[in-house]
Amino acid sequence: MTSFTVSTSRREALVDITEQVAAAAARHSQAAALMVFSPHTTCGILINEGADPDVAHDVLAFLHRLVPQSSHFRHVEGNADAHIKTIMVGSSVSVMLESGRLRLGTWQRIFLAEFDGPRRRTVWVQALAAAPEG
């Protein structure tokens, strides 16, 4: 298991972590896949388009409207919305590797989805083995 940290600068942000994940992948030339895991409960991990930053803007704006911060929640810390968004997005993704290189679609990038920043976040990475042939 390896890890890296990410500092987020706003309450809600999609931070592109593809390069950090690729660096971890490069140390595992025989791995078939990499688990990328957020050990936090108010930020998740997702895969989507990175070419147009408007996509990240639209995703965050939509989720912000869908799950308002002040919507009659009980949780006293005032961040119930961030927990709910994290559950909707998920805490982890798995991506395939080939000879230590990430296999992603042309437009895909890996993002940490911050919903209760700004904070310093940790991302865990674990390499998984390919099944034997046959």
Q: How far is the CB of 26 from a copy of itself (least distance, A)?
A: 11
Q: How far is the CB of 56 from a copy of itself (least distance, A)?
A: 9
Q: How far apart are CA 62 and CA 83, in angstroms?
A: 16
SS3 75: coil
73 close to 3: Cβ distance less than 8 angstroms: no
Q: How far apart are CA 5 and CA 20, in angstroms?
A: 9
Closer residue to a copy of itself, CB minimum distance, 11 or 81: 81
Binding site for a copy of itself (CB under 8 A): 1, 27-33, 35, 37-41, 46-49, 52, 54-55, 57-59, 61-63, 66-67, 71, 73-77, 80, 83-84, 86-96, 98, 103-108, 124, 126-132, 134
